Structure 1
Amino acid sequence: MSLINLHSVAHWPQQRGPWLILATSATILVLIALWFQHVQGLVPCVQCIYQRTAMIAIALFGWIGVLAPHYLTVRLVAMLGWLASAGAGFYSAHHHIYLQTKANPLFTSCSPFPDFPQWAPLHEWFPNLFGAGGLCTDIDWSFLGLSMPGWLRIIFAVYFIIALFVLATRLVRLQRL
């Protein structure tokens, strides 16, 4: 008997429960980020906003999966969106750690404004959610020796690995049919 029933994992995308867990966990993480910003007074930097945007995207794609997991198109959009958002979030968190630890602070700076597309200036539409003002090189919070982007890099990696595992298991299972 295996630790994880691969047949069950292959069917996760067709069930609401796994999508609900994904959507809820990402939504909770966004709410925690907003609590850090608006209650604890930690001002997010541009990289923080990019990571927040990726987490919001994971939540949104999770909620899309919750809506209609029995439709192939919905599953594909939700699955690929989850995978891409987790990858983008991991990249941003990794780059943020580089800025905090390896880059020369005299020659490293980040823009005070996120680089959203002109057709969707989220930082202007929703400044309390997407507005930046902090410095990317500052470490204002840490837990167990990791800064916030350090924890987010782990979280995004877990989301990405789970997405790949579910997708690979599903593809292998479908090929056996």
Structure 2
Amino acid sequence: MFRALKTVSVQRWPWLVLALSALLLLLAGLYFQYQLNYQPCIKCIYVRVAFFGIMLAALLVTIAPKQAFLRYLGVCLGGAAAVYGVLQAHELVNIEQVLASGGFTTCALFANFPTWLALDSWFPALFAVTGTCGGVDWQFVGLSMAEWSRFILAVYGLIHLLVFISQLTKPNKNPYL
């Protein structure tokens, strides 16, 4: 399995599919924000940053997927973004559960990006915080947007882990095995 995965990882199309899937999820978030008026909280913005990081990492590998350095860099950056996103989404799920049980909790009202990466200042339409944490305005098959984000980011993280492990194997001579 790992040899086949390594063979696939040196091709451009899987990375484009990964980047496209993350882009579609980002666009879905923007649709919820600007068309359905579900305003993102700080945790939502951090989850959005994770999807953005996965997309950028995949695009980085797309430049030259046969170059091991770019592939390792993209896999590590994408995996780190996925883990970061899972942690942020998990915190948001916890906030949602506390509020649903009648408790009280709050989160920051402003993003805490480093000055060298002030995404909320550079791209406010994408990364500005306009809502508060904990409101469950949308559900699909019983899961909130935060729970779906946590699940999807965990899948992305698993994919990145498997691709990372596959890089330690020798590729198949026959790419169809």
- Tell me the TM-score normalised to structure 1 length: 0.90
Equivalent position of 1:77 in the other structure: 73
The residue number in structure 1 matching 2:48 is 52
Task: Give RMSD over aligned pairs.
Answer: 1.7
Whether the aligned pair in 2 keeps the contact of 1:114 and 1:123 (CA below 8 Å) is yes
The Cα of 1:57 is off from its aligned counterpart by 0.4
Distance 1:145 1:52, change over 3 A: same
Determine whether 1:92 maps to 2:88.
yes
Structure 2 equivalent of residue 169 of structure 1 = 166
Per the alignment, residue 27 of structure 2 pairs with: 31
What is the identity, as a one-letter code, of the residue corresponding to 2:124?
A: P
In the other structure, the counterpart of 2:156 is 159
**Higher relative contact order (CA closer than 8 Å, sequence separation 6+):** 2
Distance, in Å, in 1 between the alignment partners of 2:167 and 2:117 is 34
Structure 2 equivalent of residue 123 of structure 1: 120
Contact 1:93 1:153 in 2 (8 A): yes
Q: Work out the percentage of aligned pairs sharing the same amino acid.
A: 37
AA of the residue aligned to 1:11? T
TM-score w.r.t. structure 2 length?
A: 0.90
Distance 1:158 1:7 in 2: 20
Code of the aligned partner of 1:16:
R
Q: Which amino acid aligns with 1:15?
A: Q
Paired residues in the alignment total 170
Return the letter of the residue paired with 1:32: A
- Residue segments in structure 2 that go unaligned for 5+ positions in a row: 172-177
